[in-house]
A and B are shown apart, each in its own frame.
Chain A
Amino acid sequence: MNNLIITNNPAVAEIKDIVLFVDGSAEETLIKARDLVHEGYELISHPLAASLRMMFSPFRSVILGKKSDKVDIFSVEIIEESIIKFKRHMESRKIDTDNNDDYKMIDLILLEAAIHEQPVTW
């Protein structure tokens, strides 16, 4: 089962095979993922990280599963809520661009962890 990775992280795009690279911000990456979810793609990984600091990361990667004819309502709820939460957080914050290399690295490592969490074979 090949999943699709939506990412704006060049470090991810460099080494992963099935990638849709977003040449834009973390928010644009989430919005791209949302559009695809509305087209029928299922969310495999949660669009947000687990810690506040990663919310300020300029880089974000989201894993999508297979596309079906029917929109997956669970995935829609999760991605929509995530975008609301992300926007609220970033209202008064600027993206932290001083630590780009570290954010790229951690985004990639957390993505790898998600991929290995449970291989999707169904």
Chain B
Amino acid sequence: MKLEIGRIYIKDIQLGKETSVIDGVLTVDKQGLIDNLKEDGRIKDILIDVARPGEKVRIIPVKDVIEPRVKIQGGNNGFPGVTSKQAQCGEGRTHVLYGAAVVTVGDIVGFQEGVVDMWGEGAKWTPFSKTYNLTVDIQVVAGLDPHTHEETVRIAGLRASEFIGLAGENVTPDEVLTFEIGSMFEETTKYPDLPKVIYAEMNITQGLLHDTYIYGVNQSGILPALLHANEEIDNAVISGNCVAACDKITTYQHQNNSVIYDLYAQHGKEINFLGVIMVPEHTTLAGKVRASDYTVKLAKMLGADGVVVSEEGYGNPDSDLLMICKKCERNGIKTVLITDECAGRDGLSQPLSDTAVEAVAVISGGNVSHVVTLLPADKVIGNAAAIAVLSGGWEGSLLEDGSMMCELNAVIGATSEIGFHNVTCRLY
């Protein structure tokens, strides 16, 4: 399977009367986008705005972040199975408005947090302070049930990114990346001496505000699924969850999954990258046992020597992570785990309460309890009342000058468990 991703560097976003990219400036037809999204009768109002790196702007509560793209050749435009008819993702050519992002804002429940600060201390912690963000605030008609409300907001974000992505259709990209991996037999013949490595990506799949979709299929009802390494980075996977701000894998992060990019970079050099197993994180213990058994079985069938496992969320998925680890290691398959940790405000507490002797290679995406001070914003996009949710959890978090202390867990992408973020870890 061969995929070309053409990156069109975006240096600014402007609102205007047509949608285009000229000299790196993305202009968005604001009214056209609003009219397009409001074709969905469940939407009452759409507010469009722009947030640029360095501006004293806060976006809250963020629902999802999506990279605008257009399919040039192969497959279908948009998100097959969701915003367009089913088609194979991962083949042909896709143009990306690189440096731009659609950030959806939508208050589905009162306790939603998810903050992106475009400047200052807050900006250091979220990768989406560096993107030019087109914010889409989606307000729905009265009387929608929570599931329909969530779906409406999710689909609107995807459609907005599709609408904007079309601007890249006839633009020559600044850079073209090629992703090509043949069948496992072909690659193993080419690289007989390289260790075979598969990526097991765990995704939250537990119900409302806690779901992930592959080609539009809710992962909660399926067994672990094997994907070619190209599919996820070409719009096959979308996020439906939004109450785990720091370690939620946004759709943007699925589209740019760092683990896939890094394993790809080593393919044919250090490793033979076999592909991706998408692992659902179930609520029941039976589901966890089934998904971990099935993941290990797939890894064994494919002859994997090693598995990189990334987690999404915190709490019950920690059990799945260790089940996969233990079962792989006992079957002679080496594991590397990527998670995040709760090591207390000072970072000194024992970080993981679930442990296993088999877990010998563990990477932390950051300490979710680390406290940051967010300064008052000049402008808030979204619901300013949601800011109270950030500081609502503990005494003394709201300071006299209007700045606010909050834990990293409120900041979008702050402790990404697929490594798409700003913090790094160092060995002392």
Q: Which residues of A contact B (CB under 8 A)?
A: 43-57, 63, 74-75, 78, 81-82, 84-85, 88-89, 91-94, 96, 98-99, 101-103, 105-106, 109-110, 112-114, 117-118, 120
Q: Which of B275-299 contact A (CB under 8 A)?
A: 281-288, 290
CA of A63 to CA of B220, assembled, Å = 18
Q: In the complex, which of the residues A88, A96, A112 contacts B393, with contact meaning CB atoms closer than 8 Å?
A: A96
Additional A-B contact list (4), CB under 8 Å, known A51-B210, A91-B344, A94-B394: A50-B317, A56-B393, A81-B319, A110-B206
Task: Name the CB-closest residue of B to A101.
Answer: B110
Interchain nearest-CB distance for A31 vs B (Å): 16
CA of A120 to CA of B247, assembled, Å = 31
Q: In the complex, which of the residues B317, B319, B349 contacts A78, with contact meaning CB atoms closer than 8 Å?
A: B319
Q: Which residues of B contact A (CB under 8 A)?
A: 109-113, 146-147, 204, 206-210, 220, 241, 243-248, 281-288, 290, 312-319, 342, 344-345, 349, 353-354, 368-369, 388-389, 392-395, 409
The reply to whether B316 and A46 contact each other, CB–CB distance below 8 Å, is yes
CA of A28 to CA of B65, assembled, Å = 37
CA of A85 to CA of B112, assembled, Å = 22
5 A-B pairs closest in CB distance: A113-B207, A51-B244, A46-B316, A48-B315, A114-B283
The reply to whether A49 and B316 contact each other, CB–CB distance below 8 Å, is yes
CA of A92 to CA of B207, assembled, Å = 28
Task: Name the CB-closest residue of B to A43.
Answer: B285
The reply to whether A85 and B244 contact each other, CB–CB distance below 8 Å, is no
CB contact under 8 A between A45 and B392, given known A51-B244, A52-B315: no
List, in ascending order, chain B residues with CB within 8 A of A118's CB.
Answer: 284, 286-287, 290
Task: Name the CB-closest residue of B to A95.
Answer: B393
Task: Name the CB-closest residue of A to B206.
Answer: A50
Task: Name the CB-closest residue of A to B409.
Answer: A52
Task: Name the CB-closest residue of B to A93.
Answer: B393
Interchain nearest-CB distance for B346 vs A (Å): 10
CA of A89 to CA of B353, assembled, Å = 11
CB contact under 8 A between A88 and B342, given known A44-B284, A78-B319: yes
CA of A91 to CA of B394, assembled, Å = 10
Task: Name the CB-closest residue of B to A53.
Answer: B243
CB contact under 8 A between A51 and B285, given known A84-B353, A94-B395: no
CA of A113 to CA of B220, assembled, Å = 9
List, in ascending order, chain A residues with CB within 8 A of B110's CB.
Answer: 98-99, 101-102
CA of A8 to CA of B409, assembled, Å = 25
A–B pairs, 10, beta carbons within 8 Å:
A51-B244, A51-B313, A52-B314, A75-B285, A91-B344, A99-B111, A102-B111, A106-B209, A109-B147, A117-B284
The reply to whether B316 and A110 contact each other, CB–CB distance below 8 Å, is no
CA of A117 to CA of B394, assembled, Å = 35
List, in ascending order, chain A residues with CB within 8 A of B288's CB.
Answer: 46
Q: In the complex, which of the residues B113, B282, B283, B345 contacts A92, with contact meaning CB atoms closer than 8 Å?
A: B345
Interchain nearest-CB distance for B193 vs A (Å): 40
The reply to whether B111 and A113 contact each other, CB–CB distance below 8 Å, is no
Q: In the complex, which of the residues B109, B285, B409 contacts A102, with contact meaning CB atoms closer than 8 Å?
A: B109
CA of A57 to CA of B243, assembled, Å = 12
Interchain nearest-CB distance for A99 vs B (Å): 4
CB contact under 8 A between A120 and B286, given known A50-B313, A105-B146: yes
Task: Name the CB-closest residue of B to A112.
Answer: B207
List, in ascending order, chain B residues with CB within 8 A of A120's CB.
Answer: 286
List, in ascending order, chain A residues with CB within 8 A of B312's CB.
Answer: 50
The reply to whether A53 and B245 contact each other, CB–CB distance below 8 Å, is yes
Task: Name the CB-closest residue of A to B247.
Answer: A52
Q: In the complex, which of the residues A53, A74, A81, A110 contacts B207, with contact meaning CB atoms closer than 8 Å?
A: A110
List, in ascending order, chain A residues with CB within 8 A of B209's CB.
Answer: 51, 106
CA of A55 to CA of B112, assembled, Å = 13
CA of A43 to CA of B284, assembled, Å = 8
List, in ascending order, chain B residues with CB within 8 A of A92's CB.
Answer: 344-345, 369, 394
The reply to whether B284 and A85 contact each other, CB–CB distance below 8 Å, is no
List, in ascending order, chain A residues with CB within 8 A of B409's CB.
Answer: 52-53
The reply to whether A45 and B353 contact each other, CB–CB distance below 8 Å, is no
CA of A78 to CA of B322, assembled, Å = 12
Task: Name the CB-closest residue of B to A47.
Answer: B316
The reply to whether B113 and A53 contact each other, CB–CB distance below 8 Å, is yes
Interchain nearest-CB distance for A58 vs B (Å): 10
